[in-house]
Structure 1
């Protein structure tokens, strides 16, 4: 019933829908059980009428725009018009009518109605954007974006708990606690470099010193707040890739794909981004959303732009690194990151690569099933998209958002706060030893790091290595201070 009936009856090729409706005579009211919607017998649609099932789906199974689009594209206008004429005030048929006109470009006749506006998305169940009132059918198309770009974010308990923390207030408190501009500059210098290394490491690359320096400058440039454009994104792509032959001066004009394993097989292709003809309109919709006025939580907007970018994959190389940069860029444009601040998101993601992959696959795996792929030769494929809706515009971003916000917490709590605590402790040990003993700065720096990485101990091999220039008493003192500052805090 509902979406399941429509997909099966109309033989629609879609990436899926979250809730599968199932009749359960033991329940007295419709309720969710995992990804199953348990439906009392009395509520089950009693006939095979497509609109009855479509209204049931909207009422109980949530808003699945990809499926709704696919259904609208095969429904006859007369079927919807007849229901409108019969029940002009019905909120679900008015919603269907508004979407039908938007998806098909066809015109329906609206009967005069004084019915109150109805929201497409229930604000209690979904994160909603600005009000976009469609007066003809009195429907508020209140999605995160307009229908050119409208992923959904469900208000899960996990997401609510993550967003309850004011991460930017905690970031301000960190800046205040760090002890002056000099200490902040030092901590951020490390953070920028660590974010650079982390972003490259996710792609299994190690940047040269020059490449790392350039990417740090790219990250710092995000604070300029430039609006996204094809020109700007191409500039960024050229600054972040390591292979000059893959430098981009426009969005891609050929199909790309992601694959696992060595030899190219259809089964080894794990994801295909949208067809070439869709790249430009999708990127325009995404850039319009990114450059638009704030309408949702800035963290959600930042990660939505980031994940949408990587799913579109507008370049032949550098998409992953750029997508993570876009989190930083969006937060800078929102005004939430000033004083050159950065949240090292890539470092956090590197510590949870399986979680990152799981978030990506929550969207990419269902989309992959909508492609037929044939291998032409060792580096060419023949790929045909067979979807009836548009899963690149309409996808469930909830898992991606939950992951992204978790990574934000990790970036602040571990990457910034713990590292700054380490730097303060390091400086204390350095000052105490340097005051009491005569030792070269470079040796003292190295020995403190060694002792810290080994639980406050300097190994016998290291003691032998330094015995010609550092006295045993000094080595003992370094051990004692490292243990006192870092490991004996209660």
Structure 2
């Protein structure tokens, strides 16, 4: 059965300088996935990187184009370009999902019959039946060497795959047909993986006194909770922030489920009188309304309400499979969390639940030190432009492929089938972003908080030698000194600390300088 609206064309055979609005690094003939997209008229956001065959033997590649030499030119056939794609570009499930609907099953059965023991043919065969649920009219592979579905030199995958006897492949895909974004193994990700951040975090915590660890963990937890609200432009009450902080602290202690997501939404919303809880029963978008017409102006259109349950259940299955299968925890956390926010299953609370998922996966995989939460939301708040850029790296290119109409209520109604856009996307940029956040928490936030607590203890002890003062008053004194570059302001001297003599004030200021260094800045600011 051909894909609805399919426009077939000939295989690309001549060099071009532009492909669907994306300039090539130099003249070349699009190959692999680019050739399949053009040949079958597939409608989807272009992959972050495409491949083409250059006219010379020393081509120049870029972040958007992998330029190959003329000797890499594939046969102008379905199997020729699929083999090229699998060999050099990895597995793109978003393209394969449309391709498997665009071409007749007989074409894929013929690929298997022509090379029943071929590793590429068996991987294509497995993915066809895995994604479509349909069985090709070919016999089982028989006795032949097992090959992994995902080439781990190109993409991240499970540490161990489950054998499929029919195809003689090891299924090391991190997800299921209901949800399985893929991640390319870039130089940046390789460099992050080599740093073993989980071991480094334990080493950092191991150098901190046990009593300081507990206090640092409490501060970082509350800071992350408040920062997650701040990203949404909210200033929660202390009780609400603490309640959400407790939910973050418990991340990873319960398995994910739709009921668990619903429970968390109730916690994060707090006042439920003006927000409908549970999965959306209407469309959703992120954006504004035109101030004159009142029509929606979306920056992102959420998944259709009829697809939400299946997509969320796909997220749940991905979480269990990826963690149990040894998927890189940071990658799994990014894939799960960013996929959730793209789906946007709830009317409200999606952003905070999305960031909670970072903690859930890292805690489930025992990536962070026991009892310690990486303050990822606090880092995101400091890197808000990079965060928004990461979100729009996929939602922006996706927008033109979603057909929608406004509703009388000022919402959107999605008109085309969009579920695969949320199931299968390239999450490489999202993983790189989260890794950068994790690195910052380990190299900056954890040590800075430990230094602050050590300095505070020193400051508190020295102040007590000057004047007997409750710890709460010492904290207030420190706050005033932080705000005034290490000097106690005249208003503070005449009100809160009027009991201090000028000599005592001078001593306190000297103690502050000794404890917190010559910079005299707020230790909780980067």
Alignment of 1:319 with 2:350, yes or no, is yes
Name the structure 1 match of 2:14.
none
- Paired residues for 1:189-228 under 5 Å: 189-222=218-251, 225-228=253-256
**SS state of the match for residue 51, structure 1?**
helix
Q: SS of the residue aligned with 1:78?
A: helix
Answer yes or no: is the 8 Å Cα contact 2:176–2:317 preserved in 1. Answer: no
Q: Secondary structure at the match of 1:101?
A: helix
CA contact (8 A) 1:275 1:385 kept: no
Match of 1:116 among 135, 145, 156: 145
Aligned pairs, number:
485
Give me the TM-score of the superposition, normalised by structure 2: 0.84
- How far apart are residue 308 of structure 1 and its match? 2.1
| Change over 3 Å in CA distance of 1:69–1:26 after alignment to 2 | same
Equivalent residues in 2 for 1:134-153, closer than 5 Å: 134-153=164-183
2:46 maps to which of 1, 4, 16: 16
Cα–Cα, structure 1 residues 262 and 475, in superposed 2: closer, same or farther, change >3 Å? farther
Do the aligned partners of residues 381 and 441 (structure 1) sit closer, same or farther apart at CA in structure 2, a change above 3 Å counting? closer
1:93 aligns with 121
- Structure 1 residues 56-67: aligned runs within 5 Å: 56-67=84-95
Partner of 2:339: 308
**Does residue 154 of the first structure (1) align with residue 150 of the second (2)?**
no
Q: Is the 8 A contact 2:376 2:441 kept in 1?
A: yes
Report the equivalent of 2:281: 253
Q: How does 1:2-13 map to 2 (within 5 A)?
A: 2-13=32-43
Q: Quick one: distance in 1 between partners of 2:52 and 2:334?
A: 34
Q: How far is the alpha carbon of 1:339 from its aligned partner? A: 4.7
What does residue range 370-449 of structure 1 map to in structure 2 within 5 Å? Answer: 370-377=401-408, 379-385=410-416, 390-438=420-468, 442-449=472-479
* 2:263 is the alignment partner of 1:235: yes
Q: Against the structure 1 CA distance between its residues 424 and 261, is the aligned structure 2 distance closer, same or farther, given a 3 Å change threshold?
A: farther
- Compare 280-289 and 13-22 and name the one that shifted more: 13-22
| SS in structure 2 of the partner of residue 316 of structure 1 | coil
Q: Which of 170, 193, 198 is residue 163 of structure 1 equivalent to?
A: 193
Secondary structure at the counterpart of residue 245 of structure 1: coil
Provide, for residues 105-142 of structure 1, a one-character-per-residue CA deviation record: whole Å limited to 9, x for no partner.
14231375644233322112211113133332323332
1:486 equivalent among 509, 512, 516:
516
Provide the C-alpha distance between the structure 2 equivalents of 1:86 and 1:443, rounded to a whole number of angstroms.
81
Moved more, 341-350 or 363-372: 363-372
Residues 163, 170 of structure 2: 8 Å contact kept: yes
For the residues of structure 1 that align with 2:284 and 2:265, how far apart are their CA atoms?
16
TM-score, length-scaled by structure 1: 0.90
Q: CA deviation at 1:256?
A: 1.2
Distance 1:378 1:81 in 2: 49
> Deviations for 1:156-189, whole angstroms, at most 9, x for unmatched residues?
12112222233333333343333233x3332222
Structure 1, unmatched stretches of 5+, are none
Q: Does 1:476 find its partner at 2:506? A: yes
Answer whether contact 1:237 1:247 (CA < 8 A) is retained.
Answer: no
- In 2, the alpha carbon distance for the partners of 1:199 and 1:314 equals 18
Q: Runs of 4 or more off by more than 6 Å in structure 1?
A: 264-267
How do residues 266-277 of structure 1 correspond to structure 2 at under 5 angstroms?
268-277=297-306
State the shift of 1:70 in Å. Answer: 0.7
Cα pair distance change 1:23/1:229, threshold 3 Å: closer
More divergent stretch after superposition (352-361 vs 327-336): 327-336
**RMSD across aligned C-alpha pairs, in angstroms?**
2.8
Q: State which of 324, 340, 363 in structure 2 corresponds to 1:332.
A: 363
User: Contact conserved, 2:334 with 2:358, CA < 8 A, in 1?
Assistant: yes
Matched with 1:345 is 376
Q: What's the CA shift for 1:15?
A: 2.1
Change (3 A) 1:488 1:18: closer
2:487 aligns with 457
Show the counterpart of 2:21: none
- For residue 283 of structure 1, the aligned residue among 312, 319, 327 is 312
Rounded Cα–Cα distance in structure 2 between residues aligned with 1:222 and 1:60: 38
Aligned-residue offset at 1:286: 1.3
In structure 2, list runs of 5 or more residues that go unmatched.
Answer: 1-30, 520-526
> 2:121 and 2:197 mapped to 1: Cα distance?
41
What is the CA-CA distance between 1:446 and the residue it aligns to?
2.3
Alignment check: 8 A CA contact 1:359 1:403 kept: yes
The one-character-per-residue Cα deviations of 1:40-66 (angstroms, maximum 9, x if unpaired) are 33432454x333323332223321111
Are the counterparts in 1 of residues 492 and 498 from structure 2 also a CA contact under 8 Å? no
**d(CA) in 1 for partners of 2:171, 2:295:** 39
Using the TM superposition, give the Cα deviation of residue 32 of structure 1 relative to its aligned residue in structure 2, in angstroms: 4.4
